[in-house]
């Protein structure tokens, strides 16, 4: 989840460590009202969103073209490996890069709900619990995130 939010393996490891440290320090405040997974996920998500917010330079918008993805180490355990034909691989890589760039341009809140729902497969209630918001807020954020993604990627899906 963290890697999908920050697109940088080293930053993801650092944020995971920060999240686990924060969880360790606050374990006494875990009330058991939700599952431990949801509680820990919420901490990790909050640490990641806080980090993304701190990195934003004042005045930048989510559609700033200067935002770019970091290079991904091809030997990384998080890099998918496939055996496609070269032309299919190039087309797939281009589409994946466009999708990653579009996700990176979303606000941290919109990026979080898209990744939690579409990548992690979480249910609306789980997302609401993890983000400490209502299901209506989750649905609204998903709607607007998908609408922004659709606008940014219109040329990709119209040419498929």
- State the fold for domain 2-67+81-158: Arc Repressor Mutant, subunit A (1.10.10)
Quickly list DSSP for 85-152.
Answer: -HHHHHHHHHHHHHHHHHHHHS-HHHHHHHIIIIIS---HHHHHHHHTS-HHHHHHHHHHHHHHHHHH
Tell me what pLDDT residue 87 has: 66
Tell me what pLDDT residue 69 has: 45
Q: What's the whole-number mean pLDDT along residues 51-77?
A: 56
**Domain boundaries in the chain?**
2-67+81-158
C-beta separation of 26 from 81 below 8 A: no
C-beta separation of 101 from 65 below 8 A: no
Q: Which has more pLDDT, 48 or 56?
A: 48
Tell me what pLDDT residue 59 has: 41
């Amino acid at each position: 989840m963290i890697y999908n939010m920050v697109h940088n393996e080293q930053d993801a490891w650092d944020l995971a460590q920060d999240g686990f440290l924060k969880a360790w320090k606050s374990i006494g405040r875990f009330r058991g009202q939700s599952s431990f997974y949801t509680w820990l996920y919420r901490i990790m998500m909050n640490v990641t969103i806080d980090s993304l917010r701190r990195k934003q330079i004042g005045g930048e918008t989510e559609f700033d073209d200067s935002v770019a993805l970091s290079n991904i180490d091809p030997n990384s355990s998080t890099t998918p490996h496939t055996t496609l034909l070269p032309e299919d691989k190039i087309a797939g890589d281009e589409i994946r890069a466009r999708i990653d760039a579009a996700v990176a341009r979303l606000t941290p809140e919109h990026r979080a709900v898209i990744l939690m729902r579409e990548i992690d497969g979480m249910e609306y209630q789980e997302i609401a619990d993890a983000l400490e918001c209502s299901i209506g807020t989750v649905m609204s954020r998903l709607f607007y995130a998908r609408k922004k993604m659709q606008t940014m990627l219109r040329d990709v899906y119209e040419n498929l």
